[in-house]
Each structure stands twice: as C-alpha cells, then as structure tokens.
Amino acid sequence: MSDEKPVIRTVPLRAPLDASGLPRKHPAAAASPMASGDSPEQRPHIPAPREGEPRMSRTPLGHTTRVTPDETREIFARLMPHLPKQLQKVEPNPSGWGLRFVFASFTGREPRPSLPAALYRDPKLRYVAEDVDPAEYRLRELADHIACDVYERAAELWKDAAYVADLRQVVKDAPERWRAYERELKALEAAYAYLRTPEAAREWPSALSRLVDAQARTQVAADGFDVRGEEIAEVHSKHLYADLGRTEALKRAGYPAAAAWHLAEPDHYHRGQHFAGSNDVPLAEIVRRLIAEQDAHVAKVARLSGTTN
C-alpha cells in the first residue's frame, strides 16, 4: 500500500490557517518532547492561523466558539507528542471550515490507532473543571475534540488497510483457479451447444461422452475455486462494517478482475441444501444446477426422440 495516495478527511473545525509550520514558527511556552527531540522532517506539518484573525470552531456539543491564533498554536503544540506517526500534514479546508488530515498509508498490520492513555495523563491536556480554570477547560476540550477526530479517521483508514492486508493473505492462487474454471465452463458450453447440431446426431454417444467429461472437469474446477472463495468470503465477513466495499477492497489488494468472481457467504459453503431460487451459493452449487439442467434436457430429448424409454 505504499504506492497509494495519502487520504484526506475534513473535520468540523473552522480555523483560517496558512502554510507555515506551527511548532517551528510559533514554539509553545514549554516545548513538548516531540518538539524538542524530533527533527522538523519527522513532525506532521501543521500550519498556523493568520495573525489577529479569530474564527469559529464547532465544539463537540454542536455550538461554535472563537479560536484565536494563539489558542490554535497552543492546542497543536500540546497535542504534538500524542499524534499518530502516520499523520503527515494538517491542512485548512479550502472552504474555510474545518481541518483536513493527511496520513501516510497504513499497512493494516500495525496496531489499530487509538487515543493514547498518555494524552489524558499529560499535565497540559488532562481534564480541568470549568469552574477551576475556564480558559484551560475550553482549550483542553477543543484539544480533545481535535484528537478524537484525528484518531477516528486514523482508525477508519487502518480498518480499510487491515481489510486489504487480510485479503492479500488469503487470495493466493484464486485468479488462476478462477481462470481454470472459466476455461472449463467455456468448454462445457461448447460441448453442450454441439449437441444441437446435425453433426452431433451422427456421433451421439461420443458427443454425450464429451459432454459428461466436460461436466466433470467444470465441477472439479468449481470445487477448486470454492476453496479460495470460502477463505475470501470469511475475510469479507470479518470486515463487514468496513468503509470499503468488497469489490473495491479486492481491487486495492491488487485484484481488479475479482469483480467477476462468484463468492457466497461463508456459512453457505458447507450447507447440505440450498434454496433453489438463491444465487448466494458456492460456485460448485451453480455448476451442479447447470449440469442438472443439461442432463434433464438431454434426457427429455432422448425420450421425445424415441432413443430411450
């Protein structure tokens, strides 16, 4: 996933920001461990607001409050040690409302991003009652709101990455198995279509024999694909509530052609019986139904033509 473009998300915070880096241009009164120990290249780029231009910020309660440039700088200076390492940049939304977070791609194999406990133990971020210090209460509430938005989006991106990583682990040779099935199905369709030609009447037993052979090979190919199909279906079920759809997840995993694959729900692969009108069945069941239809047609033709009782 390293070749994917950074993902941007808008959050409901209005603050006019320019392109300068907040921690470098406007250091906080007390430097945070990250600000004092890391190089500028290792920190996410966080722009500063225009001087003297307070704006409106939506609070968690849905109301708005003015955030001054000094407050914005102080909030990010305090949050800096606790931000996800994948966070590359915080940008102003072009509309003027909100911030956009730019993340490096997640692998899906790192721990799921979550608000660090250290954030709430931080002397400059832990809770202060409003009646004790109204200014600090407001500043810390805003900081908490921003931190929650950052980690919420980071978790969403991580879930998508984990979904894709799990698919890459189970797909394996599914493309080859699907292509093998398509080849056998094409041969089966050709063998069945041949029975309708005048030539088939002159070699009926041989034509039927070739059909039976094609049916068997197609069934084996379908069974083979279902082995991988079940594993893929289990991953889809595991990530049922991911933002990514199934086709898009497989595409990001490197399998755009997977949109054509026939997959059932995982608990349908070992059912003894399936509803006749449902297509949410394994590929092997689809082929079994096709063969049954062909056999029934051939038997009816034989009966009507007087070639069998």
The string of pLDDT tens digits covering residues 84-112 is 999 999 887 777 677 889 999 999 999 99
Residue where a domain stops, chosen among 106, 141, 168: 168
Cβ neighbours, 10 Å, residue 303: 11
Judge whether 1 lies within some domain: no
The H or E element containing residue 10 is strand 7-11
Q: Do 205 and 277 belong together in one domain?
A: yes
Q: Is pLDDT above 50 for 309?
A: no
| Residue 164 and residue 184 share a domain | no
Range of the structural domain that residue 162 is part of: 7-168
Considering the domain architecture, whether residues 121 and 192 belong to the same structural domain is answered as: no
Question: Tokens representing 169?
Answer: 């682990």
pLDDT in tens, 265-305: 999 998 877 777 788 999 999 999 999 999 999 999 999 98
- The rounded percent of the chain whose pLDDT value lies above 70 is 77
Closest CA relative to residue 146, chosen from 15, 298, 294 = 15
Q: Does one domain contain both 103 and 138? A: yes
Is there a domain that residue 2 lies in? Answer: no
pLDDT of residue 46: 57
The mean pLDDT value for 203-215 works out to: 97
- Domain contains 135: yes
Q: Is 130 within the bounds of a domain?
A: yes
Q: How far apart are CA 12 and CA 100, in angstroms?
A: 9
Mean pLDDT of 140-145: 93
Residue at 237 is within a domain: yes
Q: Do 37 and 135 fall into the same domain?
A: yes
Question: Do 157 and 184 belong together in one domain?
Answer: no
Q: How much is the pLDDT for 66?
A: 64
DSSP 45: B
Residue 22 above 50 pLDDT? no
113 lies in the same domain as 33: yes
Integer Cα distance of 229 and 200 in angstroms: 36
Sign of CA dihedral 146, 147, 148, 154: positive
Same domain, 127 and 205: no
Same domain flag for 104 and 191: no
Tell me, yes or no, whether 183 and 47 share the same domain.
no
**153 and 38 in a common domain:** yes
Residue that is last in its domain, among 168, 191, 210: 168
Q: How many domains does the chain have?
A: 2
Is 218 a member of any domain? yes
Q: Is the pTM of this model over 0.85?
A: no
Q: Do 199 and 300 sit in the same domain of this protein?
A: yes
Boundary (domain end) residue, out of 134, 168, 202 = 168
Residue 193 makes CB contacts below 8 A (sequence gap 6+) with none
pLDDT at 12 over 50: no
